[in-house]
A = this chain, B = another copy of it.
Amino acid sequence: MRRLDELAQFSSRNGEITRLYLTPEHRAAALKVREWMQAAGMRAEIDAVGNVIGRYDGTTLNARSVLIGSHVDTVTNGGKYDGSLGVLTGIHAVAELHAKGLRLPFAIEVLAFGDEEGVRFSRTLTGSKAVAGILEDADLDAADSAGITIRDALTRFGCDPLEIPRISRRKEDVLCYIEVHIEQGPVLESAGLPIGVITAINGATRFKVEVAGTSGHAGTVPMNVRQDALAAAAEMVLAAERLAQQTEDLVATTGCIEIRPGVVNVIAPSVGFNIDVRSSKDDVRQNTVAALQDSFQAIARRRRVAVTTEGFYDEAAVTCSSWLVKALEAAVARLNLRPYRLPSGGGHDGLAISSLCPIGMLFVRCAGGVSHNPAEAITADDADLAIRVLLEFLQHFEPDDAVSGIREA
């Protein structure tokens, strides 16, 4: 907890936690994380894409690795635990093994990815994609609001972008990936449980909705002849909420809406809003998006306005490997905690790593489900439990089981 407080000091602004990818504060945080990794008995370095990688060797020199990771970047004015908790619990688990002089029949690598939030550049998961070998060279041309590309920022950060292809891992060198993360939601808190085992990272579809009505004077156009784009949009927002409430394992959110011209005495001719739909089941998500689009068309027809929708983001759900889910549940049960499964509504570095190896995730209860906010909070007891679960998992992990688990899947 002390180290999480310390990490929170690396911020572009005093009084808040804002640590974007490849900024000076990211570099300072990365150096501190490398120092902690070294103190925990790991060889550690900053790689070509700005990740910090620590390796704790196994009983044999060229043992395959269990990867444990998360990210050290934050959103603008974010919290102390989103990302950082996963890196610190990994370091602490290794530190305990090191303190006891324990070597396992596999290596452990702790990864502190540099860019999960995607706030600075119009790209996310740059660090984990590079490790998974799925980062495209063109991704490095994405620029921030000042016109600086990821490629330029890497050079300023002290990295050599030409070395990036060399940091991708071969499937035969890694066993699995485990990520600890705060829940960012209220489910565990409601269930009265400190730890949850993730079954899948939800797929997400985002689409833009544009409603075109007819402008009019707020005082002179009778209600029955109006073609009010905002009233139509309001009905659509509620239709999306209602359908999501009626659909299991699905959420839908309207987080932004824009009205044009936005004048108190003008019936709005034009309203745009976005909808974000998520589910751990791709077919449920896709069917809901289709049903919403039909419902919006029906609302538009009835109100004599026009509506268009345009998808701009579509990520399939990623399933956590069932043998890893079971192994993590067993670790939870050995600590006399009730195993509890839930899907992850948010995206995580595991999304990218899933193309490299099986992934598993643990969620830690957070206060009020609050995240992406300075009010983000967890307890020291819950953080410690996450480290205990990691150690239980690692000490019972059989690399051969993992290999057969991979083969079965």
Residues of A within 8 A of B (CB): 183-187, 190, 202, 204, 206, 214-225, 228, 230-231, 233-235, 237-238, 241, 244-245, 251-257, 259, 262-268, 274, 276, 278, 344-347, 368-373
**CB distance B237 to A224 under 8 Å?**
no
**What residues on B are CB-neighbors of A228 within 8 Å?**
241, 253
Distance between A246 CB and nearest chain B CB, rounded to angstroms: 9
**Which residue on B lies nearest to A252, using beta carbons?**
B223
B217 touches A231 (CB 8 A): no
Chain copies in the assembled complex: 2
Considering the complex, give the chain B residue whose CB is closest to the CB of A371: B217
Q: CB-CB < 8 A to A262: which residues of B?
A: 255-257
Which residues from chain B contact A276 at a C-beta distance below 8 Å? Answer: 218-219, 264-265
B345 touches A220 (CB 8 A): yes
A225 touches B266 (CB 8 A): no
Q: Are B266 and A255 in contact (CB under 8 A)?
A: yes
CB pair A263 B259 closer than 8 Å: no
In the assembly, what is the distance between CA of A143 and CA of B252, in Å? 45
Interfacial chain B residues near A373, Cβ < 8 Å: 215
Residue pairs across A and B with Cβ atoms less than 8 A apart, 19 shown, are A185-B222, A206-B264, A206-B265, A214-B368, A215-B373, A216-B369, A217-B372, A219-B347, A222-B251, A223-B241, A228-B241, A228-B253, A230-B254, A234-B237, A238-B238, A256-B262, A256-B268, A257-B262, A264-B276
Chain B CB count within 10 A is highest, among A216, A230, A346, A370, for: A216
Return chain B residues, CB-CB under 8 Å to A233: 234
Q: Are B219 and A230 in contact (CB under 8 A)?
A: no
A238 touches B244 (CB 8 A): no
Bound CA–CA A184/B184 (angstroms): 51
B346–A220 CB distance below 8 A:
yes
Q: Could you say which residues of chain B place their CB within 8 Å of the CB of A256?
A: 259, 262-264, 268
Please state if A220 and B371 are interface contacts (CB–CB under 8 Å): yes
How far apart sit A218 and B255, CA to CA, in the bound complex (Å)? 8
Task: Please tell me if the beta carbons of B186 and A221 are within 8 angstroms of each other in the complex.
Answer: yes
Q: Which of A187, A190, A221, A345 has the most CB of B within 10 A?
A: A221
A-B pairs with the 3 shortest C-beta distances?
A219-B345, A185-B220, A220-B345
Say yes or no: A372-B255 contact (C-beta < 8 A), given A346-B219, A347-B219.
no
Asked, given contacts A222-B251, A265-B255, whether A185 binds B234 with beta carbons under 8 Å apart, the answer is: no
- Cβ of A223 and Cβ of B245 under 8 Å apart? yes
Q: How far apart sit A206 and B184, CA to CA, in the bound complex (Å)? A: 39
A183 touches B220 (CB 8 A): yes
Name the one of B231, B265, B345 contacting A238, with C-beta atoms under 8 angstroms. B231
Also in contact, A369 and B183, with CB within 8 A (given A230-B254, A238-B234, A264-B206): no
